[in-house]
Amino acid sequence: MATKEPIITLSAGPVAAYPAVMRALSRPIGYDYDRHFLEFYEAVNRKVTQALRSSSPALILHFEPAPGLEAAAASLIGPDDVVLNLASGVYGKGFGYWSARYNKELVEIEVPYNEAIDPAQVEAAFKKRPDIKVVSVVHHDTPSGTMNPVKEIGQIVRKHNALMLVDAVSSWGGMDIHPEESCADIFVTGPGKCLGGAPGLTIMAVNDRAWKHMEANPKAPRASVLSLLDWKDAWRQDKPFPFTPSVAEVNGLDGAIDLYLAEGPETVWKRHALTAKACRAGIKAMGLSLWAAREEIASPTCTAVRVPDGLKDDDILAAARSLYGVVFSSGRGETKGKLIRIGHMGLVAEPIYAVVAVTAFGGALKKLGRKVDVGAGVTAATAVIDQARA
């Protein structure tokens, strides 16, 4: 017998899509070189550029952000480049493996995966290795639910005339982070997280510094799915696509961006933050521990909860799903088995879902024989919500 679909997905992504996005995805699939689609594609790109608050046209790649990040590494990093990779989690560490395929040398700062990179560490790295040319960093390392101070790091990188590549896949759209104010030269994100869209596209902001470096890179791919240069001008209706774009996904992106801009980014960020704050209050009131070493580095788009001693993450996830129809996410790689992630992104970045999360998490623990005061958790979560709305 097939497994039933969950009732509520509170995962760290992909996330539930807004109904308006689902409607947009159901629009007719048009011919990519029809004049209507060419005009539409440029219009969508302009809206994405506006949402990114970028002075350079947005770049849309037609696959989800993991290959998008690999494409950024392949295109930007040349055989003469020394790369500083900042690893505070599974995804940050993973970017270093891509980087190693292309760079001259990889220098790495790694911290425990419940911690964040200290900007002073980056400054010290430049003092020791002034030849560093590219710095790679994940803003919100989703498998840990923790954030790095990208804006402060970006100022240091720019001061040393290096290039910075930022993975903002699970943070942009859910908090105040943008490419230019963070001094990112390549800023990678997508619609499948905080925008509440489908997960099949990569969105990038690429500035002139990065384009010039790629154009001078003799190993930058061309006529390849990993090429950023091939797509540089494809946003313009008078330029060809390197290969067929994902028409349905562009329709969905249009729906997601329209929602984001219509609601207002600041309003969207506020409800993400409130949902996370309420959820964490409830989790702590039940006597559970957050994974992040300090709450100030915990992301407003994902709450990572340490798995209680004596329990298994898979058992908690299964109990929450079977009892409440609620899906959470496990850890990844080094954090697998150590934490459970509750997503606050897009459609479910609403305070009521914090109450749902606390109820399902606490109820699952009770089912597994753990003494948990679920009522105290719900009371704490609702108190945060009521206070914010007073």
**Binding-site residue set for substrate:** 341
CA angle centred on 303, ends 348 and 92, rounded to 5°: 110
> Running DSSP on this structure, what letter comes out for residue 228?
S
Q: With contact defined as beta carbons under 8 Å apart, do 143 and 163 qualify?
A: no
Residue 226 C-beta-side C-alpha neighbours within 13 Å:
17
Q: Residues 6 or more apart from 371 whose CB is under 8 A from it?
A: none
Task: Tell me the backbone φ, ψ of residue 205, rounded to 5 degrees.
Answer: -115, 125
User: How far does CA 235 lie from the centroid of its chain?
Assistant: 23
Distance CA 170, CA 255 (A): 19
> Running DSSP on this structure, what letter comes out for residue 296?
G
What is the DSSP secondary-structure string of 139-200?
A: SEETTTTEE--HHHHHHHHHHTT-EEEEE-TTTBTTBS--TTTTT-SEEEE-SSSTT---SS
Kindly report the length of the chain: 390
The sign of the CA dihedral 165, 182, 210, 268 is: positive
Residue ranges of the annotated binding site are 341
